[in-house]
Amino acid sequence: MVSEAFRGEFYQKVDSKARVSIPAAFRRILDAEDPASEDFPRPRVYMVYGGKSRNFVECYSKAGADALAAKIEAMELGSPERDRAERDLISRSVMVEIEPDGRIVLPLKVRAKMGFGPEDLASGGEAAFAGYTNRFKLYRRETYDAEFADDDDDGVDPLALVGRAARAG
């Protein structure tokens, strides 16, 4: 169970060494859901870069990553659905420790998923962090801005969507 929801949108610079600061509000959740241990004295973020149709990296706290893994383990062993979930959500993921200054270095496969090549890092790119309750998504800022530029044009009140889901459940 998530102790607090990841909320909000944040934009952070990615430096020439592929380092980016995790927003402070997100770091507090990551820290709370990954108590320090002898093996891992710093909080971790689990970054899922799998899924061909995804143009973002999905990020989980330790507790969130464990909950996701438990749901996958509950799937039928050997089923195509479980195999795909394991491949795209477990195999194609990486755990990164958060530096004391709140930054992480984006691993190569994460950078590739986000569309950051060496030339982008040299010229200074930006990452968009978007909260999604029990996880957050990490995009290249241009991708995020383009994807959500027109998303509110359907005339539907988002609270009505929540109400429909509550009645259906």
Which mean pLDDT values do the consecutive 10-residue runs of the chain (169 residues) have?
81 94 96 91 96 94 95 96 95 96 96 88 88 95 87 71 67
DSSP tag of 168: H
Q: Model confidence over 85-124: pLDDT tens digits?
A: 999 999 999 999 999 999 999 999 999 999 988 887 777 7
DSSP letter string over 52-121? Answer: TT--SEEEE-HHHHHHHHHHHHTSPTT-HHHHHHIIIIIITEEEEEPPTTSEEEPPHHHHHHHT--HHHH
Write down the mean pLDDT value for the chain.
Answer: 90
140, 127 contact by CB (below 8 A): yes
Query: Do residues 4 and 30 touch, judged by C-beta distance below 8 A?
Result: no
